[in-house]
Amino acid sequence: MTTQFKSLIQVLDYFKEESTCIAYLAKSRWNDEPACPHCGNVGAYITNRGYKCKAKECYKKFTVTTGTIFENTKISLRLWFAAMYLCTAHKKGISSLQLSRDLNITQKTAWFILHRIREMLNIRNTEKLTGTVEVDETYVGGKTRNKHAKKRELDNAKGTGSVNKVPVVAMLQRDGRVVTVVSPIANGETIKPFIYANVEAGATVYTDGFGAYKGLDKVYTHEVVRHDAGEYVRENGIHTNTIEGFWSQLKRGIIGIYHNVSPKHLHRYCHEFGYKYNTRKAKDVVRFEDAVKNVNGVRLTYANLIK
């Protein structure tokens, strides 16, 4: 794509007409070769309302939004594109209240749009992390400021976290991408399968001294940075500072923008911040175009969102 947006105003100016939005989405999805979302066949007849599959076994009708997050939406593509630009451009995110004001839509609609976008931003990559990978867990949710330090240490040692806090595990490849997983509890039985599923065997893994990571040396070159002993950087660049930086970005966004995140929806916020980290070197317009290319096959319904 050749568009060059540097602001929301430019996005709205470019997509003034719905026909422009439809043409842009069609180009992004199919590059002039419409593919049937029902059967996958490449090639379709153009109809008054969209397309009709050329495959005799299918012959079904579809539009440019069929099989995307925009399917059956009552919101114009212009507003959808504006929301996608804002969501992917703001480093700390954008709240549904702010989006509703910016686009003159209800807060309920803005909330639903943002969750659909976050669900889509969980771009599935089947390639495992390799090389040097930092692994860490954090807790998102309730505050522990009134809990005695010894009690907090005991809870962490048990892998229970804190009341109202949800464990999130992240695996970050140095100079690469990050993968996040929301876990029901933080212990070896839950954390290690996540690591095995996302980190290539034989990789070098850096963690802190949390007991859940014991046994990783059977699969990986496992180096431990013992924060409880005041150790934060060892020789030869052994540390978990990179992933700590990612946690800072995620928590600044959640605390500063969203204020309170439901455990039920936490994984989508992690998708959002993981996507932004993984596209950190891209310009806003490139990130927007990349997001539009990934609208296929991921459609979160309102019923599933609130159940």
Per-residue model confidence as pLDDT tens digits over 205-260? 999 999 999 999 999 999 999 877 677 677 877 899 999 999 999 999 999 999 88
24: its two tokens: 């842009």
Residue scoring higher pLDDT (154 or 195): 195
- For CA atoms 184, 187, 189, 192, the dihedral sign is positive
Is the model's pLDDT at 133 over the cut of 90?
yes
Residue 238 located in a structural domain:
yes
Give me the CATH number covering residue 174: 3.30.420
For residue 212, being part of any structural domain is answered with yes
- Evaluate whether residue 139 is within a structural domain: yes
Of residues 160 and 98, more confidently modeled? 98
Check residues 145 and 213 and name the one with the higher pLDDT.
213
In the predicted structure, residue 294 carries a pLDDT above the cut 60: yes
For residue 240, being part of any structural domain is answered with: yes
Task: Identify whether 291 is part of a domain.
Answer: no
Domain assignment of residue 160, yes or no? yes
Mean pLDDT of 148-160: 54
Lowest mean pLDDT among 95-109, 115-129, 159-173: 159-173
Which residue range is the domain that position 166 belongs to?
132-254
37 domain residue, yes or no = no
Does 176 fall in a domain?
yes
The arrangement of strands across the sheet holding 178-182 comes to: 178-182, 165-173, 132-141, 204-208, 221-225
- Residue 29 forms beta bridges with which residues? none
pLDDT exceeds 50 at position 176: yes
The reported pLDDT for the residue numbered 162 is 54
**How much is the average pLDDT of 260-276?**
94
| Higher pLDDT, residue 158 or 94 | 94
Instruction: Give me the number of domains the chain comprises.
Output: 1
Question: Which residues, including other chains, have CB under 8 Å from residue 307's CB and lie 6 or more apart?
Answer: none
Across the range 263-288, mean pLDDT stands at: 94
How much is the pLDDT for 146?
46
- pTM value is 0.87
